[in-house]
Amino acid sequence: MNLMRTAMLLAFMTALFMGVGYLIGGQAGMMIALVAAAGMNFFSYWNSDRMVLSTYNAQEVDERSAPEFYRIIRDLARTAGLPMPKVYLYDSPQPNAFATGRNPENAAVAASTGLLNALTPEEVAGVMAHELAHVQNRDTLTMTITATLAGAISMLGNFAFFFGGRRDNNNPLGVIGVLVAMIVAPLAAMLVQMAISRTREYSADRRGAEICGNPLWLASALGKIARGAEHIPNEEAEGHPATAHMFIINPLSGARMDNLFSTHPDTENRIAALHEMARYGGGGGPAAGMPSGFGSTGPILTANPVRKSRSVPNTGRGGSQPPKGPWS
């Protein structure tokens, strides 16, 4: 159902784009906007992982520097049938996590130090299974296509502002058509983009619960993360609000409503859906091979291990050595 809804929303955005091009009055402007938007998003598609990891100064870790956290992700990836992603930590007291990368073979998952301090190993497994579900569902690709169409529609709106009033264009609706192209269409595209983001979160919740084997692990984690995000600011996210849709819970202050303008569903609705899934036996039990620490109530991380270096992390296979920390 979520996949069909996503496809319908993408089809609507495509039709909206064609309609705006018609309102402006020509094929040339429509094609120029599409090519420009596609070029920008093509660059983002190939470089978005480095860009977002750099924004949050995330540091790559491995089994030696973050043994329990790394093993959790390794075992979840094996259960999901995914290649092992690169694993990152970033220094933030706000509990949160995100996934990035253009496909499962080039994926990265990242968690905040606040997440590992606040959650139990089971809850961390639920969160990271959700992020791996985004990787498996290729949601990065879906959102890139969505952003391409939204960007093209916005550019057409700009073209309408500069050229829509010319007498020699083919705009059949005159000033009304220009206003629709300038204001209504970009707003509609933004609403559809956010709706697709909300839809993908529900899908990742369900698949993440299946990967980790227990929907209640993720449900418990979502409650803790939402409370943390409500009271603990994320300065980097506040400075880069365009990255908010990547996180498991919206990291921006005052962003809790489940409405047309939200990038995430209401947390209580997500938790209720996971409880409903658990009630009917969804998940199928804990994933095989999970670390021996499972069943404990303490956090994985008890101190802040990530250095406040402003260097751009190397996302290649070689790269700099991961930071040392008390999880060694």
pLDDT for 107: 93
| 314 belongs to a structural domain | no
Asked if 23 and 165 count as a contact pair (C-beta separation under 8 A), the reply is no
Please indicate, yes or no, if residue 37 is contained in any of the structural domains: yes
| Total number of domains constituting the chain | 1
Question: How far is it, in rounded angstroms, from Cα 219 to Cα 167?
Answer: 58
291 in any annotated domain: no
Structural domain includes residue 297: no
Q: Are 249 and 270 in contact (CB under 8 A)?
A: no
3-state class (DSSP) for residue 89: strand
Look at residue 296 and tell me if it is in a domain: no
Q: Which of 41-55, 267-281, 314-328 has the lowest mean pLDDT?
A: 314-328
In this predicted model, which residue has the larger pLDDT, 247 or 296?
A: 247
pLDDT value of position 284: 65
Angle between helices 215-231 and 267-279 (to 10 degrees): 170
Number of residues in the chain:
328
Residue in 60, 122, 131, 210 annotated catalytic: 131
Output 220 or 322, whichever has higher pLDDT: 220
Match 């802040």 to its residue by tokens: 304
Contact present, 25 and 169 (Cβ < 8 Å):
yes
Q: Is 131 one of the annotated active-site residues of the chain? A: yes
What is the pLDDT at residue 274? Answer: 97
Instruction: Flag whether pLDDT at 327 surpasses 80.
Output: no
What is the C-alpha to C-alpha distance for residues 22 and 153, in angstroms, rounded to an integer?
A: 12
d(CA 205, CA 314): 30
Whether 306 is in a domain gets the answer no
pLDDT tens, position by position, 94-149: 999 999 988 899 999 999 999 999 999 999 999 999 999 999 998 877 776 776 66
Q: What is the DSSP letter of 247?
A: B
- What are the residues whose beta carbons fall under 8 Å from the beta carbon of 318, sequence distance 6 or more? none
Residue 172 lies in a domain: yes
Distance CA 150, CA 222 (A): 29
Euclidean distance between CA atoms 44 and 50, whole angstroms: 10
Q: For residue 163, what pLDDT is reported?
A: 57
State which of 8-12, 278-282, 300-304 shows the largest mean pLDDT: 278-282
Of residues 323 and 124, more confidence is placed in 124
Q: Is residue 25 part of a domain?
A: yes
Helix-, strand-, coil-residue percentages of the chain, each rounded to 5 = 60, 5, 35
Q: Which residue has the tokens 């109530």?
A: 297
Give tens-digit pLDDT for 270-283. Answer: 999 999 999 988 76
Domain interval for residue 185: 2-279
What digits encode the pLDDT tens for the residues 47-92? 878 888 998 999 999 999 999 999 999 999 999 999 999 999 999 9
Q: Is 130 marked within a binding site?
A: yes
Burial-class residue 266 by CB neighbours within 10 Å (0-12, 13-18, 19+). middle
Residue owning tokens 């303490």: 298
Q: What is the pLDDT of residues 140-192, one digit of tens each?
A: 777 767 766 676 777 667 666 665 555 445 554 455 656 666 677 667 766 77
Q: How far apart are CA 241 and CA 253, in angstroms?
A: 10
Quote the mean pLDDT of the chain. Answer: 77
